[in-house]
Structure 1
Amino acid sequence: MGTWATAPQLVEPHNMPPPPGLAGNTLRQIVHVSLGGDRLRVRFSNEYGKTPMVLQAVHLAGAREGSAIDPATDRALTFGGQPSVTIPPGATVTSDPFDYSLRPLSNVAITIYFGEVPADLTGHPGSRTTSYLQEGNAVDAPEMPEAVTFERWYVINGIDVVAPEAAVVVTLGNSITDGRGSGTNKQNRWPDELARRLQADPRTRHVGVVNMGIGGNCVVRQCLGPSARERFARDVLHQPGARWVIVFEGINDIGGAEGGLEGALAMADSLIAAYRWMIDQAHARGLRIYGATLLPFEGAFYYTPEREQARQRVNEWIRTSGAFDAVIDLDAALRDPSNPARLHPDWDTGDHLHPNEAGHRRIAEAIDLTLFVDDAP
């Protein structure tokens, strides 16, 4: 079952690793899991690389403050019994399962000593979490005080736990789901906050959360990363243990709609068609799929009254069509009652598009946990 995952994308030039680069060096990346377990495996991706990627050695350990790990928890990963692995271009690899006492809602460090690295990197720029890059082989270093730091992930794709009674909710979205507006290293994106609520309720402690948000992503057209429709099978249907999916995406499609009112409403209809397709795909795989209404965005850089009409059309369809298995009305939860076309000031980062940290908590609190009880194993 998935306890943590991130959506791979081709890393843009301005998001590439800083000097000294990955090849021949060590990268430590921190991730926040949802479910606990006693046996793990870790996935790595070279999906967008055009040449092989060599992982000379990979370790996993409990994370402490900054770059520090708990050495007592440090484990060397193997791949087919070997300490190193070559990932072919366009491929992913999974480590051999290994024993590890993983606590729910804990932070773990994945440390990779790289060999050959392709020019085109697979990664996830919106980590909201500090990574540490040090020259040479420091794969088992207790800490990395001289490391170069940045907030991006590379190569890491997911962590799975052996948990036969567990199930997973996949959160599919754009920058809001990815964590824009949450706090760096605070692990308080709304999917993180949802995971905390699920773990706190005895009825839902078996439910993991994996975050498939990509900043700047769109549903029906190419924006940043593959479109939600294009990546639906990879990021939702093929997630280990997936039983539910929350679809919270479409505002970037609307924000980029051209052609005045006619073009904006045509985009709304295209989004609705894409949602119907996702619903069919999810149901064919036995998943329940929940639709989240799009947040208000008056005052944001791409707002127009015509695009607001498109948002209203999409939200009305989500609420009334009955096509989704349930509706999560985030628009109602976060809008300003005195001006429903705007985010409530208490939840707004100030750009009138992305919720702040309190807004991320508000999103999680607006989700009815019984949506994950009725279908419990």
Structure 2
Amino acid sequence: MTRHRGGYALLSALVAVIVAVSAGIYAAADAGTARPDTFAAPPAPHNPAQPASTGVWATTWAAAPDGAEPGTETLGTAGRTVRNLVHTSVGGTGARVTLSNLYGTRPLTVTHATLAVAAADDSPAAAAGTLRRLTFGGATTVVVAPGGQAVSDTVAVALPADSDVLVSVYTPTSAGPVTFHRHARQTGFTADGEHTEDVTGTAFTAAGTHWRYLTALDVLGPEADGTLVALGDSITDGITATEGADRRWPDILAERLRAAAATGADVPRYGVANEGISGNQVLADGRERGGPSGLSRLDRDVLGRTNVKVVVIDLGVNDILRNRRLADPDAIVTGLRALVERAHARGVRAVGTTLTPFGGHRGYSGAREAVRQQVNAAIRDGGVFDAVVDFDKALRDPYDPRSLRPEYDSGDRLHPSDLGYRKLAEAIDLTDLKGSATAAL
């Protein structure tokens, strides 16, 4: 790094203030939502249900709540059943879900909720014998305060790895705006009336490619030793991956981890939680889209996940592209260091990626490319992350390093194709995901 060295101490101080304020805000919003994450974990004090099995808790799927669903401000999903379809990274014999009302303006009342293995890909039908009624503190009804979340009791159910799971929620009244994840790349379903226990799925119609209310699915069992969280922007969110095919790079990483473990290779056994938000930045909150900054949401979306062992951080491109002025590379790197320091404080290993090319994108300029190169140089030089994955090298065109290689480009000169997402996952050395956090960088 050659620019702005004299202001480094001031930048560090400013980021520290931002981190402290942001952490306070999100900690308050998530107060009282901690979940057990240890071996053969007993239920939380408010949860009288007994564990469904022994083993280790891990998050098998997750999605960050990134806003309020447009058009739901008045009616929400009152009188309707939402059936989310999600994909597991590891399996288990016990399960629980997390429901969020982060963007609701009134209490979210859920009177019925169920979980089931899907009968087929992209289908709202449940596989025979797998549907389970969900309870919360022993009751079928739960009321989630505005800005809050609720974790269900554990249910005994065999959830295979690499399978689709249905989580259905019925809300009789409106909580105001529906908390959702915009770019699910997966069809969601709704039905008029209460149909949470409908195994045929005939009452459900396709209703967009969003995940509503549901933010995590945890499993208890012998397949995983903990959770890997991917914290990133649209490239992690997989905004251009083939819909319904689970081809985002975290999906492919989960596939690689399962395959390597099956051969007996000495690799970590992790559930993979994709906490990407399209438009997300390290430093700044999104005005309309992009969600809270990485610094703001780290506690909720990473450290708040179950039994998290490692975080893979792929953030910074939007800090460059969405800054109306020229972004300061030192500020971005300082923000990344702050994320790592907070992860280390919780014993979480932090792996970072270099920023991928965007030559030819409408936001490209020579000055912005220079900022990207400076951030990548700092990341490669060490002193930021415990290990580095060179996403830039994996995707760049050898004949034009400012741009994506054509076969890895979705067509917009910024986001990868399915082949590009696979290339990113393959660039990760699985042994780099092992181990504890470095004591000091």
Alignment match, 2:332: 271
Asked if the contact 2:70/2:177 (under 8 Å) is kept, the reply is no
SS of 2:143 mapped into structure 1: strand
Work out whether 1:207 is the aligned partner of 2:266: no
Shift of 1:206: 2.2
Alignment match, 1:330: 391
Work out whether 1:348 is the aligned partner of 2:409: yes
Work out whether 1:368 is the aligned partner of 2:420: no
Q: Which amino acid aligns with 2:298?
A: F
Cα distance per residue 1:95-132 (max 9 Å; x no partner): 11111111111110001111222222211111110011
Q: Which amino acid aligns with 2:214?
A: I
- Structural RMSD (CA): 1.9
Identity %: 40
Asked if the contact 1:67/1:145 (under 8 Å) is kept, the reply is no
Shift of 1:149: 2.2
Asked if the contact 1:6/1:210 (under 8 Å) is kept, the reply is yes
Q: Distance in 1 between matches of 2:243 and 2:364?
A: 27
Work out whether 1:126 is the aligned partner of 2:183: yes
Alignment match, 2:129: 72
Cα distance per residue 1:142-167 (max 9 Å; x no partner): 11365242100110011112247611
Q: Which amino acid aligns with 1:101?
A: A
Q: Distance in 2 between matches of 1:281 and 1:83?
A: 37
211, 217, 230: which one aligns with 1:159: 217
81, 86, 95: which one aligns with 1:31: 86
Shift of 1:229: 0.8
Alignment match, 1:225: 291
Alignment match, 2:103: 48
Shift of 1:321: 3.0
SS of 1:120 mapped into structure 2: coil
TM-score, structure 1 length as denominator?
0.94
Q: Distance in 2 between matches of 1:119 and 1:336?
A: 47
Asked if the contact 1:177/1:214 (under 8 Å) is kept, the reply is yes
- Listed as ranges, the matches of 1:1-377 within 5 Å are 1-13=58-70, 16=72, 22-63=77-118, 64-65=120-121, 66-141=123-198, 142-144=200-202, 147-163=205-221, 166-202=225-261, 203-204=266-267, 206-223=269-286, 224-259=290-325, 263-264=326-327, 266=328, 268-374=329-435
Shift of 1:363: 0.6
Q: Distance in 1 between matches of 2:196 and 2:220?
A: 25
Change (3 A) 1:27 1:367: same
Q: Which amino acid aligns with 2:293?
A: S
Asked if the contact 1:132/1:144 (under 8 Å) is kept, the reply is no
Gaps spanning 5+ residues in structure 1: where? none
Asked if the contact 1:28/1:109 (under 8 Å) is kept, the reply is yes
Asked if the contact 1:62/1:107 (under 8 Å) is kept, the reply is yes
Shift of 1:47: 1.5
Shift of 1:13: 2.2
SS of 2:173 mapped into structure 1: coil
Q: Distance in 1 between matches of 2:99 and 2:259?
A: 30
Asked if the contact 1:4/1:160 (under 8 Å) is kept, the reply is yes
Asked if the contact 1:257/1:307 (under 8 Å) is kept, the reply is no
Q: Which amino acid aligns with 2:279?
A: G
The number of aligned residues is 369
Q: Distance in 1 between matches of 2:322 and 2:278?
A: 15
Shift of 1:256: 1.9
Q: Which amino acid aligns with 1:211?
A: N
Q: Distance in 2 between matches of 1:45 and 1:21?
A: 14
Q: Distance in 1 between matches of 2:267 and 2:163?
A: 17
SS of 1:47 mapped into structure 2: coil
Shift of 1:21: 5.7
Runs of 4+ in 1 over 3 A off after TM superposition: 373-376
Q: Which amino acid aligns with 1:317?
A: A
Deviates more, 1:48-57 or 1:138-147: 138-147
Q: Distance in 2 between matches of 1:144 and 1:271?
A: 49
Q: Distance in 1 between matches of 2:75 and 2:124?
A: 17
Shift of 1:204: 3.6
Asked if the contact 1:49/1:119 (under 8 Å) is kept, the reply is yes
Change (3 A) 1:90 1:257: closer
